[in-house]
Chain A
Amino acid sequence: MQKTDKTELANLLLAIGKGNRAAFKDLYDRTAPKLFSVALRILRNRSLAEDVLQDVFLRIWQNARNFSPESGPAMAWLNSIARNRSIDMLRQKGPALAADQEDEIDWTEKIAEPNDREAEMMDLSALRHCLGEIEEPARTCILLAYYEGYSREELAERYDKPVNTIKTWLHRSLIALKSCLEASR
């Protein structure tokens, strides 16, 4: 990702939309490691993540012509497809997948790290600041849901709270996040 420019990815998608296979392979080489990692974090299962990655790229191939650079960065578009497929899969499989947590990551710390070009490109700093305004444990709930696919029920179990409390935490945090991001624009 480091060497990939915003417009390069968008141009690849436009070429793929016209059926250009070389552009498709190029896009795969540049973005598959990130998208695989996104899927793997959420699904916590290698073989399912491989299936999802395959499906994600077939969708990219089929849908590239619907991508419009005006509506947002190419990487955000690609991430959304990978996240949506992973979460759909996770929700269908149910909590059966929610097994190993041994390699737990502190995401708050992780997003505080100085970042690569992609972060610069996608403006993590405003989001980092606004997440910082959200109180714990609501902030960790948001991060666990986004990065690791935690459902409301799993969060309720983790924090020993009713599901409705979790829902309230999430809603309040998301609304606060939105107004903070809009104010910092």
Chain B
Amino acid sequence: MSADYDIDAAEYVLGTLSAEERAAFAALVARDASARQALHAWEARLAPLNAAVPEIAPPPAVWDAIEASLDNLPRFTVLEGGQAADITIAKLQRSRARWRGGALAAGALAASLAFLVTDRALLHAPQQPKSYIAAVNRGGDQPALIVRVDLATGNVFVRPVAAEVPSGKSLELWYIGEGKAPKSMGLIDKDPLKMPVPGGATVDKATFAVTVEPQGGSPTGGPTGPIVYSGQLIQE
């Protein structure tokens, strides 16, 4: 276990990381099982401290508001602090067609996101024709969206497949370079999007994540809501 992220996990639980460090660690947890383990171990170590917090009854209006929201709420699978532990990364060769078929069962929204990277030369990959797709997915259903990074043209293509936007909220896409703070790639809508590759972006160990944000996008410039989908770039 890396001592580095163990101490990040400890400070994440303690609460002393900055907003950027928190977001970067949360993104790591969403894709790295051992970071997730380190986080859970620290949560368990410090949890007994909560016994010393005296109870304070919240006003009844809070429950009323919660109850009123339940009907409109999509049953997202939110990767909360990595609690969705069974994320598997499947490398599927030439299998884009698989994602087209199959209706998404109601209520069984798959928290999955697929990425494709093209242009082998820029990736310093071997010359033989290769095509890989990475799907981060929980249920084996369709991915929520497909992100293709074309380094030859410097474009990122985002194609929503089954991303579901909660009412009154927006979904925002983030690019997270290895060890970097998340960079907004804009809001996800029903329509496919084309945007430039973020400046200084590398594809090595880069992650894309989608968070639920207030309507119109994050007010802070960094992710504020839960990560609902995330996935790592893998060469096509």
Residues of A within 8 A of B (CB): 1, 19, 21, 25, 28, 32-34, 36-38, 40-42, 49-50, 53-54, 57-59, 61-63, 65-68, 71-73, 75-77, 79-81, 83-84, 87-88, 90-92, 107, 110-111, 113, 115-116, 118-119, 122-124, 126-127, 142-143, 145-147, 149-152, 155, 170-171, 174-175, 177-178, 181
Contacts and interface: CB of A to CB of B under 8 A. Distances in A.
A28 B57 contact: no
B48 A40 contact: no
Contacts of B193: none
Given A111-B52, A119-B51, 5 more contacts: A59-B226, A75-B50, A76-B50, A118-B50, A146-B49
A75 B70 contact: no
Contacts of B83: 63, 66-67, 77
B15 A175 contact: no
7 contacts: A21-B70, A57-B66, A63-B77, A63-B78, A92-B19, A146-B14, A178-B6
**Main DSSP-derived SS at the A contact region:** helix
A50 B60 CA distance: 10
Contacts of A143: 49
Given A53-B58, A88-B22, A177 B45 contact: yes
B55 A33 contact: yes
Q: How large is the interface on B (under 10, 10 to 19, 20 to 34, 35 or more residues)?
A: 35 or more
Interface string B56-99: 11110111011101100101111011011100000000000000
Contact of A71 (B6, B48, B85, B224): B85
Given A145-B14, A170-B14, A170-B16, A118 B62 contact: no
Nearest to A89: B224
B46 interface: yes
A127 B48 contact: yes
Given A66-B84, A174-B10, A34 B62 contact: no
Max chain A C-beta neighbours (<10 A), residue from B47, B51, B83: B51
Given A33-B57, A54-B66, A116-B51, A83 B15 contact: yes
